[in-house]
Structure 1
């Protein structure tokens, strides 16, 4: 049986041999290092950089970079998948698209969630902390006091009063949206069918719940809004939550079919994003899982997959062995979009090793 160690050894062989990146998408084949034939760089390279950044390059692309080494991104896309450890994903034969990404993009071999079960990880990624949430509660009230999470009763404390990444983006004038597959009505606070509200962390914050107009504009259905947005008016920060069929949640009961469904969905949607000008001109796409298998019951802290793709990033099967978690990823987004650090991200280490030195 294959394992993470086997996968990493394979990627090391690919990198050492200098093979071409694996194709990742149907008839419109793109690769993880796909970039435009020309970069619209002004004559003075970066065309001026904000305070705290300097003009440099990444893969020969002129880009402003922070003191932490993170490039300034034009657009950020993050897709959050469900409950899978590296070893589990490495052992399945039902994810050919993802295995192609491993060989063509960049991955972390030591990335971890911050809590179990799912919701605290989602909230941590956009809020810089779990806010005391330790169950998959509902966003409209403290619905968790009578429920059990991993056999321990917790108080969820929903909704949250604190600041979140969306608040930061709005304050800085940076456009953003959260897209959830099968959400239907914008700002939908109730799970239904294959839509899981617990996978849309922005809805767990009071600032959005208290402003219905803002919430309906920022948190929307994926299929109804994202394709048109990407083609015409892409937001600079894009949070994407697949539905329960597409997100690879847990290895059972559906087992292999869960992975096949998720891989097929990623094949279509990642290819869509990577073919866009929003990605190709200094964009960042991260595919990350919330936590490891089985909500930590049998595997309390296994590494989880995290794949980073960008014309500005290392590729061809690059593997980072630097320990990282959701707070480090949040810090990467914030540094790359010119935002202050939020909560635990203030003490985090952004993922600078994924980007070539300037």
Structure 2
């Protein structure tokens, strides 16, 4: 199926863009030019020159935008143009509402009951994608626009409004869109939780890692603005990088996606697009209607590099199909799900988990017998209690009724310190 069909349908459904008081302003003269409109130039670069060969790609860059219905993005001219250069994943679904659980799940294979945007931490005995990468020696980093310093642990950061200097300072950075900082085992490596000046430095230096997660700031990702505003950002930042071999080499795959849709009452389908030179020429401008979710980015990485799995939803065949052209090349067999059997992914209510105070249970161990797309077993971190399975967990506790919260929630007003609310339950470690 070719992209023209989708464009025609989406254009008829696209709502008019909402008015916004803000206007896009590029923070620098180009995506690889460092900007004093952030917090100063980068004073360091990574040293990631070793390449671990993948079966289909040697670098993957994920770029996440915010809160937009599929049809709205698909009918926006910049996205239409980008779609002609890649593969539209027309059945890609976010997992829940609001934002933060989707980010956490895409990194760790579960959202652990989280159903809000509060300030959480996940203990160091819980593994995530970074553990899988490091197990094979694959370099990684996340780049967060307007984050003030590498490894910044705060809930938000407010800085001068570079688009409108006469306006009051603006909260451009939020922790809830920076999933790696939420995992204690990863936040302890702050040099790899970086900002956009670091991205520019690493790309120019030729040391951009093999696995990259990118979050634009709160206006450029459409969270506080509109899809047209985000499109202007993409024209400034992403479009030039597609022709820059320092970023988009011949073996680079780029996933442009959204955390969730805007309308909670409908299926949580989001516009997602595979770009980059790793996409075969014959597949550009096409549509892949396979059922995918945010867990598919985990399984695709696992299949490409033959990685171990997390033993969580990344090994659930229904939810973690590998991107089709990667599955074909690696021999992974995706699961076909008829449209009538696709579950709704617009969860907004409470489910038991370690990251909810309304139905708290300790972190469960992963399924150690699970088989992931990389076919290499399950990776766990030191300190995990394998006896805490979903079947052996105690009944959920409504901690709010006890005037308490889950031990893993910190005050949203906290700007530093990991132990604001220490874990009082030994089982939750």
Q: Do the aligned residues in 1 keep the contact of 2:147 with 2:195 (CA within 8 Å)? A: yes
Aligned to 1:306: 272
Matched, 1:186 2:150: yes
Q: Do the aligned residues in 1 keep the contact of 2:299 with 2:315 (CA within 8 Å)? A: yes
The alpha-carbon distance between structure 1 residues 272 and 231, as it changes in their structure 2 partners (threshold 3 A), is farther
Q: Offset at 1:161? A: 4.4
Greater relative CO (CA pairs within 8 A, separation 6+): 1
Q: Do the aligned residues in 1 keep the contact of 2:95 with 2:268 (CA within 8 Å)? A: no
Q: Do the aligned residues in 2 keep the contact of 1:107 with 1:319 (CA within 8 Å)? A: yes
SS in 1 for 2:201: helix
For residues 77 and 221 of structure 1, what CA distance do their matches in structure 2 show?
A: 15
Q: Do the aligned residues in 2 keep the contact of 1:161 with 1:205 (CA within 8 Å)? A: no
RMSD: 2.7
Q: Do the aligned residues in 2 keep the contact of 1:74 with 1:278 (CA within 8 Å)? A: no
Matched, 1:322 2:306: no
For residues 106 and 8 of structure 1, what CA distance do their matches in structure 2 show?
A: 16
Matched, 1:352 2:321: no
Matched residues, number? 266
Instruction: Give 1:132's match in structure 2, choosing from 110, 113, 119.
Output: 113
1:243-267, Cα deviation, whole Å (9 max, x unpaired): 10100127xxx4xxx2222112112
Instruction: Give 2:97's match in structure 1, choosing from 116, 127, 132.
Output: 116
| Greater percentage in helix | 1
Aligned to 2:67: 83
Aligned to 2:413: none
The alpha-carbon distance between structure 1 residues 100 and 356, as it changes in their structure 2 partners (threshold 3 A), is farther
Aligned to 2:399: none
Instruction: Give 1:172's match in structure 2, choosing from 130, 133, 136.
Output: 136
In structure 1, the gaps of 5 or more residues are: 12-27, 29-49, 51-62, 66-70, 141-157
Q: Offset at 1:99? A: 1.5
For residues 174 and 212 of structure 2, what CA distance do their matches in structure 1 show?
A: 18
For residues 305 and 143 of structure 2, what CA distance do their matches in structure 1 show?
A: 19
Q: Where has structure 1 moved over 4 Å in runs of 4 or more?
A: 8-11, 158-161, 354-358
Q: Offset at 1:355? A: 7.6
SS in 2 for 1:293: coil
Kindly name which structure, 1 or 2, has the bigger radius of gyration based on alpha carbons: 2
The alpha-carbon distance between structure 1 residues 5 and 277, as it changes in their structure 2 partners (threshold 3 A), is same
For residues 294 and 300 of structure 2, what CA distance do their matches in structure 1 show?
A: 10
Matched, 1:238 2:202: no
1:293-312, Cα deviation, whole Å (9 max, x unpaired): 14x2x33x242101001323
For residues 180 and 312 of structure 1, what CA distance do their matches in structure 2 show?
A: 24
For residues 119 and 267 of structure 1, what CA distance do their matches in structure 2 show?
A: 26
In structure 2, the gaps of 5 or more residues are: 12-29, 31-51, 158-170, 331-429
Aligned to 1:150: none
Q: Offset at 1:110? A: 0.7
For residues 66 and 261 of structure 2, what CA distance do their matches in structure 1 show?
A: 8
1:173-213, Cα deviation, whole Å (9 max, x unpaired): 2111111000011112221211011001111112134x2xx
Aligned to 2:235: 267
Q: Offset at 1:5? A: 6.8
Q: Do the aligned residues in 2 keep the contact of 1:231 with 1:276 (CA within 8 Å)? A: no
